Each structure stands twice: as C-alpha cells, then as structure tokens.
C-alpha cells in the first residue's frame, strides 16, 4: 500500500503536466482594403481569430502549410457565406473575395473531420 502512494502521486503529477493539443489562438486585426491572410496546417489556422473593420468585400488568402488538403469556409450561424475550395500542396495559396456585413462569423475546414479536430476560428466584422 505504501508503495502505491508514490506511484499514484507521480501519475497525477504527470497527468497534470499534459496539455491538450490545442494551440493558443492568435488574433489578427485587418484594416479595410487589406487582404485577410490565413495559414492552414494540420488541424489549425493561424491566426485562429480575425477582426476586420468595416463591412463590405474582403479578399481572403489561405496558404496551405500542411501536407493534407484544406479549405476555408465562412458561415454565420447556419448560413454558409462562401470560402476557398479544398486544395493540397504545401506552400500553395488560394484566395477568394467575400461580402461580409458587421457581425460574428466562424471559419472552418470542411474537409473530412478537420473541423471536429480543431480546424476552425472566429471572425468578427466591426
């Protein structure tokens, strides 16, 4: 029994040090007329949160730094707004232009289970 206590303490200490695979999400603010740049990797976007100022049309560009195919879709609630079609190729970039009014949006990868694995972010238009 006494030998079990140190083993249990060590197990709890190691478990406490382990973290989830979630990366901290960086926020980027984009001024009117500027391109909204996003990097896609395996199951993440960088930045993971975007703030764009002013409503209207915004140019989005996504650079795929992963080895898998990724896309970038934008939705507001249940409404699909648009996005970038899936593409593969480390270092490749694709873009699109979206008309967005002020409000809260989500962006996510619709390929396979990428969104469920954490490949999503927030977009606020001010």
The predicted structure's pLDDT at residue 4: 46
- Other CB atoms closer than 10 Å to residue 74's CB: what's the count? 22
The predicted structure's pLDDT at residue 20: 36
**Global pTM value:** 0.78
* Average pLDDT over all residues of the chain: 85
The predicted structure's pLDDT at residue 50: 95
The predicted structure's pLDDT at residue 10: 39
The predicted structure's pLDDT at residue 70: 98
Whether the CB-CB separation of 35 and 13 falls below 8 Å is answered with: no
- Give residue limits of the domains in the chain: 21-125
- Residue ranges of the chain whose pLDDT lies below 50: 2, 4-21
CATH class of the region 21-125: mainly beta
């Amino acid at each position: 029994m006494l030998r079990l206590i140190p083993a249990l303490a060590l197990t709890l200490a190691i478990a406490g040090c382990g973290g989830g695979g979630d990366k901290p999400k960086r926020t980027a603010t984009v001024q009117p007329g500027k391109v909204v740049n996003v990097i896609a990797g395996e199951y993440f976007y960088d930045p993971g949160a975007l703030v764009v100022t002013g409503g209207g049309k915004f140019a989005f560009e996504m650079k795929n730094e992963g080895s898998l195919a990724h896309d970038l879709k934008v939705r507001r609630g249940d409404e699909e707004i648009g996005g970038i079609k899936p593409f593969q190729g480390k270092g490749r970039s694709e873009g699109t232009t979206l008309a967005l009014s002020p409000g809260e949006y989500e962006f996510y990868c619709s390929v396979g289970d990428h969104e469920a694995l954490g490949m999503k972010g927030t977009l606020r238009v001010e």
